[in-house]
A and B are shown apart, each in its own frame.
Chain A
Amino acid sequence: GENVEQHPSTLSVQEGDSAVIKCTYSDSASNYFPWYKQELGKRPQLIIDIRSNVGEKKDQRIAVTLNKTAKHFSLHITETQPEDSAVYFCAATEALHFGNEKLTFGTGTRLTIIP
């Protein structure tokens, strides 16, 4: 099955600086890579995703890059703000029978923005 590794497990950055979180995956057939943000005590929410036919996607201060050859993808947050403090999870799809797929999540990165 799919194995998704995520690092670092914790990351502290000064407000206004950039943060980068990296993930690797094992299944070369994976083709969808979402990122979820989970604030303390709240449910995970999708913040950005990328499909295998593109190498980069941006949405305001966040961007995701994908390198299918190396089987890794990264989340980039620029101009960080206090509200970016949360746990971030990457995920990758794994093919199942009859065209179905499931997500495998990484172990999470706790991002702390220092004012």
Chain B
Amino acid sequence: EAGVAQSPRYKIIEKRQSVAFWCNPISGHATLYWYQQILGQGPKLLIQFQNNGVVDDSQLPKDRFSAERLKGVDSTLKIQPAKLEDSAVYLCASSLAGARYEQYFGPGTRLTVT
């Protein structure tokens, strides 16, 4: 089966600019996750979708980050405006039906904010 797809793989922007990331999960997976992974740290959950509904977004900086999951399949994560501390790898993952199922991660998008 095809894995989780993400694009772009790399992005360099200046602070205060905006950026968007795209994720296509494994077909049939109901749960989709966006994680932020800062170098040397574990993945930090930003937002979790179950189908097209938000299950948790308690750690999403809502003044600058937004996310949506269109028709319960693809998802986009947007940052506007970006800050230097947003430099990180943004990982998208999907699982069959919730957090007790194996999460399959995409290759990630490495964001550098200058």
A36 to B40, CA, bound (A): 15
Q: Is the interface of A mostly helix, strand, loop or mixed?
A: strand
Between A and B, how many residue pairs show CB distances below 8 Å? 57
Q: B100 interface residue, CB < 8 Å from A?
A: yes
Determine whether the beta carbon of B91 is less than 8 Å from that of A44: yes
Q: Which of A13-21, A57-65, A66-74, A99-107 contacts B (4 or more CB under 8 A)?
A: A99-107
Q: B-contacting residues of A (Cβ < 8 Å)? A: 1, 6, 31-32, 34, 36, 42-46, 49, 51, 89, 91, 93, 96, 100-108
A115 vs chain B, min Cβ distance (A): 25
In the bound complex, residues from chain B placing their C-beta under 8 Å from that of A91 are: 42
For the complex of A and B, list the 5 residue pairs with the smallest distance between their C-beta atoms, beginning with the closest.
A105-B42, A43-B105, A101-B99, A32-B100, A100-B55
Segment 26-45 of B: residues with Cβ below 8 Å from A = 40-45
A44 vs chain B, min Cβ distance (A): 5
In the bound complex, residues from chain A placing their C-beta under 8 Å from that of B105 are: 43-45
In the bound complex, residues from chain B placing their C-beta under 8 Å from that of A107 are: 41-42
Q: B107 interface residue, CB < 8 Å from A?
A: yes
Q: Name which residue of chain A comes closest to B31, CB basis.
A: A100
Known: A96-B55, A100-B50, A102-B48. A46 touches B43 (CB 8 A): no
Write out, one digit per residue, whether chain B residues 39-67 have a CB within 8 A of any chain A CB (1) or not (0).
01111110010100001101000000000
Known: A107-B42, A108-B41. A100 touches B98 (CB 8 A): yes
